[in-house]
Amino acid sequence: MFNLHDKVALVTGGNGGIGLAMAQALARAGAAVAVVGRNPDKLAAAKRQLAEAGGSVRTYAVDVCDEAAVAGLMAQVAADFGRIDILVNNAGINIRKPVQDLSLAEWHQVMDSNLTSAFLCSRAAYPHLKLRGGKVINIGSMTSIFGASFAPAYSASKGGIVQFTRATATAWAADQIQVNAVLPGWIDTDLTKRARVDVDGLHDRVLQRTPAARWGRPDDLGGVAVFLASAASDFVTGTAIPVDGGYSVQA
Ligand code: NDP
């Protein structure tokens, strides 16, 4: 029931961190993977890593905030692989400033990268997903649940991801498309390396608050990706699943 042979997965931000780990897990389960990102060096490295593990992989240098480019991306991936079954909306950024210091341009940059991109990719993928039924996995965050004083636009975008997930899940359930969100806890990636420098005491606060008593690793997100991409989750839709070592249930 977790077998993804003959399935094609598109992972945005699949050229690093959590996205790459999810792409690897999907490839190991048998899926062919289309990896999307902007940085050509990271794309080339991700392609090498996925191919070494035996996966069928192609990379696409696309800005997922660009409406026309996203439309072209879906058409190209469908042409290259013959189908799209799984969409992982994982690309994301953060700009860490308190709300009073955030410019409108910075607000839009974060909202576009984290939330509007998920809308654009989902909408463009829909005609392909609808052909055989499919799976959408949207990446939220602990800030989908909690406030973070240093991340107002990021928190708004990740809260929005959960509601966007629910709306899309209800809209597409009749098409046999399941749409779910994953809410990672604190995971050690490029994104959070910077946060540990910018936010005083963050590293230790995360350790103290997480019942599992460690930061997460990108690989910790592989299992949930396979579950939500496979037939194992065919009656699961509209949920937001924390993968956080217990962070969100700690009093
Ligand atoms: P990374 O910075 O390692 O990965 C983010 C990826 O998104 C990069 O590979 C980047 O590719 C890509 N990306 C960003 N903007 C765009 C864009 N406009 N177009 C195409 N690709 C883009 O961070 P993480 O792996 O940590 O983050 C992945 C997701 O997980 C994000 O949505 C993040 O918010 C979320 N998350 C992370 C947590 C953590 O603790 N690490 C916790 C909760 C959620 P490129 O460099 O080529 O632009």
Q: At 62, which CATH number? A: 3.40.50.720
Q: Is residue 74 part of a domain?
A: yes
Q: With a 6 A CB cut-off, is 13 part of the ligand 1 pocket?
A: yes
Residue 197: band (very low, low, confident or very high) from pLDDT cuts 50, 70, 90? confident
Domain annotation covers residue 160: yes
Q: Is residue 194 part of a domain?
A: yes
CA of 189 to the centre of ligand 1 (A): 9
- Pocket residue to mutate for ligand 1, from 12, 18, 164, 244, most atoms within 8 A of Cβ: 18
Give, for ligand 1, the residue of 189, 206, 214 to mutate: max count of ligand atoms closer than 8 Å to Cβ.
189
pLDDT score for 226: 98
Q: Average pLDDT in the 213-238 region?
A: 98
Mean of pLDDT values over 176-194:
96
- Any domain includes 2: no
Residue 1 lies in a domain: no
- Looking at ligand 1, which residue's alpha carbon is closest to its atom 23? 191
CA nearest to 230, candidates 29, 12, 21: 29
Q: Is the pLDDT of residue 118 over 90?
A: yes
Residue 107 dihedral angles phi and psi, to the nearest 5°: -55, -50
Tell me, in angstroms, the distance from the centre of ligand 1 to residue 118's CA. Answer: 12
Average pLDDT in the 191-218 region? 93
Is residue 101 domain-resident? yes
Can you give the residue range of the structural domain that contains 164? 8-243
**Res. 195 pLDDT band, cuts 50 70 90:** confident
**What is the number of structural domains in the chain?**
1
The arithmetic mean of pLDDT across residues 225-231, rounded, is 99
Rounded distance from Cα 78 to ligand 1 centre (Å): 23
Atom of ligand 1 lying closest to residue 43 CA = 47
Does 3 reside within a domain? no
60 is catalytic: no
Residue 249 lies inside a defined structural domain of this protein: no
Q: How high is the mean pLDDT of the chain?
A: 97
